């Protein structure tokens, strides 16, 4: 009995020192590290229940600001370096990109083949995939698909008209999601999913399931980042199985049908099929899936936050409406692709929303070879994950005075020159900047323009003020959706 108790005691002591050793990684290497590290979540204690990841990292950011340009943190057991200095971020994104070209996102080709896409691929495989895909995201290709987004934005107005017959208080996140789901289903999958007509649409149901994560799924997501090799051995997948299987099956069926019937259309599907000699059907499906995942969630969230701020700031809402209406009237009542890119105030409102509510609040890079930080005389070891706190930088009063105030004038022609480089990067920077940026902004601006021409928005009893976020979501999502009073403009 004594021997057994002694063995248990030794085992516990060994585990204790093992954990202590892991959570001393950064201090042993000479880096300043986060003081509030707890087993087993590391620096993520409370994420998923009390607050979002970016809110947890923001606490660390404010603790370290002014003390060091970097701070060591822990994603579960994985040492991660958070970089808070814009000059060093510039080196990571641009000047020394070859040291940080990988994102470090988990993917598993065996258990979840469409998880291996442009977002997650690494090294030479990523370079080759990007060179093949870049041409399909050109400005000319976006213009080619403008008519699809225009048509669906008109359907959005028709659907809201019907909904207003029941109540003037509408949940606008719901409509933003249905709008972007129809856009992506049409352009990336070649389908008329009728998400605006039918809230029970299979496409919409599976799209929502991808992002409505439980606290456990959120922790699993970060666990795959913290322990990727271990997760691959276990066959862990980050994307829920049912929706990913649905999107894979849907794309492959569309692929086969278009090939068999020699169908060409001005959309992403035809552009992807043009790469069939360069990529396998599964690889093409992986990119279509990424288009949906990125275009559906980030754009609908951006639209939601824009509408929220416009509802709370009626003067800004009216100024934006005046710009849009005046320009359309000057063009004989037509809204074109070129005009959409000429709305200066719409750009300012969009950028200020992206600053205050970045859809992707944290940017991750992977150090692919030892990198010396000359200013600190310290070396970042190869294989280290780098965390770039987008949300914190964009809410830092040093860079954006009164950061909680919604002020589009920060981005007017004069003031935008004063924004410090690499303190505003909602979609990343450099060679790994989001390729779908143009399409995402096109559908967002089109949706907002059509809505403002037809309706005014204000808060109602169900509007949550101030905005709160879903703690379990890896990206910023409004808790309780977005309820607004919607009134027809006569």
pTM: predicted TM-score of the whole model, two decimal places: 0.93
Task: Using a pLDDT cut of 90, give the percent of the chain over it.
Answer: 60
How many C-beta atoms lie closer than 10 Å to residue 3's C-beta?
A: 7
Identify the pLDDT of residue 408.
Answer: 98
Identify the pLDDT of residue 17.
Answer: 58
How many C-beta atoms lie closer than 10 Å to residue 378's C-beta?
A: 17
How many C-beta atoms lie closer than 10 Å to residue 296's C-beta?
A: 29
CA distances from 140 to 145, 232, 433, 444 (A): 9, 40, 19, 18
- Cβ pair 179, 300 in contact under 8 A: yes
What is the phi/psi pair of residue 263, to 5°?
A: -95, 130
Identify the pLDDT of residue 390.
Answer: 97
* CA–CA separation, 235 and 310 (whole Å): 45
Residue 239 per-residue DSSP state: S
pLDDT category of residue 237 using cuts at 50, 70 and 90 = confident
**Domains of the chain, start order:** 2-488 (1.10.630.10)
Long-range contacts of 199-204 (CB under 8 A, 24+ apart): 199/174, 202/246, 203/250, 204/177, 204/178
Identify the pLDDT of residue 227.
Answer: 74
Render pLDDT for 420-476 as a digit per residue (tens, 0 to 9): 999 999 998 888 988 888 999 999 999 999 999 999 999 999 999 999 998 888 789
Alpha-carbon dihedral angle through residues 75, 81, 84, 89, given to the nearest 10 degrees: -120
In 3D space, the residue among 156, 467, 173, 470 whose CA is nearest the CA of residue 309 turns out to be: 467
Crossing angle for the helix pair 202-211 and 281-312, to the nearest 10 degrees: 80
CA distances from 489 to 22, 313, 314, 365, 472 (A): 61, 17, 14, 46, 37
* CA–CA separation, 153 and 270 (whole Å): 22
Render pLDDT for 118-138 as a digit per residue (tens, 0 to 9): 988 999 999 999 999 999 888
pLDDT category of residue 357 using cuts at 50, 70 and 90 = very high
* CA–CA separation, 272 and 295 (whole Å): 16
- Cβ pair 75, 89 in contact under 8 A: no
* CA–CA separation, 182 and 336 (whole Å): 20
Query: Which carries the bigger pLDDT value, residue 410 or residue 108?
Result: 410
Render pLDDT for 6-20 as a digit per residue (tens, 0 to 9): 666 566 676 665 667
Query: Which carries the bigger pLDDT value, residue 404 or residue 37?
Result: 404
29-54 burial: b if 16+ Cβ within 10 Å, else e:
bebbbbeebeeebbbbebbbeebbbb
The answer to whether 434 is a known ligand-binding residue is: yes
């Amino acid at each position: 009995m004594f021997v057994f108790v002694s063995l248990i005691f030794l085992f516990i002591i060994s585990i204790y020192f093992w954990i202590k050793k892991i959570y001393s990684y950064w201090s042993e290497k000479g880096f300043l590290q986060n003081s509030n590290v707890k087993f087993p979540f590391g620096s993520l204690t409370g994420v998923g229940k009390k607050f979002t990841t970016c809110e947890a990292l923001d606490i660390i950011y404010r603790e370290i600001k002014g003390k060091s340009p970097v701070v060591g943190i822990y994603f579960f057991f994985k040492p991660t370096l958070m970089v808070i200095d814009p000059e060093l971020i510039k080196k990571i994104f641009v000047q020394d990109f070859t040291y940080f070209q990988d994102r470090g996102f988990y993917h598993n080709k065996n258990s979840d083949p469409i998880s291996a896409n442009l977002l997650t691929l690494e090294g030479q495989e990523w370079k080759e995939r990007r060179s093949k895909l870049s041409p399909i995201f050109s400005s000319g290709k976006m213009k080619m698909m403008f008519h699809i987004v225009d048509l669906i934005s008109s359907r959005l107005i028709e659907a809201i008209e019907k909904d207003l017959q029941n109540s003037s208080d509408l949940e606008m996140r719901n409509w933003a999601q249905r709008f972007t789901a129809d856009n992506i289903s049409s352009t990336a999958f070649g389908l008329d999913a009728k998400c605006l007509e039918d809230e029970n649409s299979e496409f919409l149901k599976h799209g929502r399931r991808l992002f409505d994560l439980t606290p456990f799924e959120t922790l699993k997501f970060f666990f795959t980042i913290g322990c990727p090799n271990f997760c691959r051995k276990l066959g862990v997948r980050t994307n829920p199985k049912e929706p990913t299987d649905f999107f894979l099956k849907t794309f492959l069926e569309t692929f086969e049908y278009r090939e068999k019937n020699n169908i060409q259309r001005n959309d992403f599907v035809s552009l992807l099929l043009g790469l069939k000699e360069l990529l396998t059907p599964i690889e093409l499906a992986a990119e279509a899936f990424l288009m949906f995942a990125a275009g559906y969630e980030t754009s609908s969230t951006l639209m939601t936050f824009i509408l929220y701020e416009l509802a709370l700031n009626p003067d800004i809402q009216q100024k934006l409406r005046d710009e849009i209406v005046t320009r359309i009237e000057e063009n004989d009542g037509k809204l074109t692709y070129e005009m959409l890119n000429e709305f200066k105030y719409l750009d300012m409102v969009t950028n200020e929303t992206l600053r205050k509510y970045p859809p992707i609040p944290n940017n991750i890079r992977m150090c692919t070879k030892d990198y010396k930080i000359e200013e600190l005389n310290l070396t970042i070891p190869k294989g280290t994950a780098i965390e770039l706190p987008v949300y914190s930088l964009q809410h830092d009063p040093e860079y954006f005075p009164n950061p909680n105030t919604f002020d589009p004038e920060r981005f007017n022609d004069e003031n935008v020159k004063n924004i410090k480089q690499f303190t505003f990067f909602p979609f990343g920077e450099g060679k790994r900047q989001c390729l779908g940026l143009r399409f995402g902004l096109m559908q967002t601006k089109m949706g907002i323009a059509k809505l403002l021409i037809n309706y005014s928005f204000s808060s109602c009893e169900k509007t949550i003020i101030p905005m709160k976020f879903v703690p379990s979501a890896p990206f910023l999502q409004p808790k309780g959706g977005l309820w607004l009073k919607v009134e027809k403009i006569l």
